[in-house]
Amino acid sequence: EEQEQTPQNHPEDSDDGEDEPIVDGLPWKTSALIKSLFFLDALGASSWGRFSAIYYNLHGLNSLHIGLIEGARSVIPTLSMVGWGIVADRFRSQKAVWLITKVVSTVTLLTLALPWVYSSFVKILGVSILAQLFVSNGILDAYTLELLGTENKIFYGRYRLYASLSWGIGSIIMGWITDHYGFEPNFIMFALLGGLMIFMVATKIPETAAVSEQHVELSADTGIVGDGAKN
């Protein structure tokens, strides 16, 4: 069976003009970067989202309080992601919007570790709502689809797969850590992963996805996309 290693230039990954093999519809460096971002994003979310009820119980919230907070955490991102997506598309500033919202939401959520915040249900609720107002995860999905283009959008699921894997793996690991060391490491892990994602996006991702015409034409003409051939 012939090994698919199709060299191709991509404006976001090749500064020296060298060709790169295509993996899952993108130059391999871009492919690895996007998969890493999906993996880290879901891993960070699993360190908090799966264990938030433990945090609430530790600080004396009752079932009504927890229900209100969790309800807000479900409803508000549905609206905020749409809003931030519109802003990013309107001003063609996907990177800037993602960075701003990620920094604000991460820092805001980390304040839940402060005694002044967790001493009051109202403060916990307010911080939770504020953090969810700056959720813009859909921008990463839109950016990935824009990079892939029409010809290679069938590979989008392979990128999302890394988020599913990290969500499951992260839940198991953080569950063990929480059982043995308490809830505080969850905040540390969330901060480290959020900081790493912010650094990667700030230094490795361009402002907008500029898909090369040569890359799209190659996929259409040869049928070679991703790590396999379309026959």
CB-side neighbour CA atoms (13 Å) of 150: 3
Distance of CA 159 to the CA centre of its chain: 11
pLDDT tens by residue, 121-158 = 999 999 999 999 999 888 899 899 999 999 899 999 99
Task: Give the separation between CA 49 and CA 29, rounded to whole angstroms.
Answer: 30
Angle between helix axes 94-110 and 121-133 (nearest 10 degrees) is 170
Contact 106, 190 (CB under 8 A): yes
The closest of 92, 93, 106 to 47, measured between CA atoms, is: 106
Contact 84, 105 (CB under 8 A): no
pLDDT tens by residue, 19-41 = 779 999 999 999 999 999 999 99
Residue 196 vs residues 1, 20, 92, 225: alpha-carbon distances, Å: 39, 25, 24, 30
Look at the block and give the residue holding tokens 């198991």.
172
Task: Give the separation between CA 107 and CA 230, rounded to whole angstroms.
Answer: 45
Global pTM?
Answer: 0.80
* pLDDT of 2 higher than 70: no
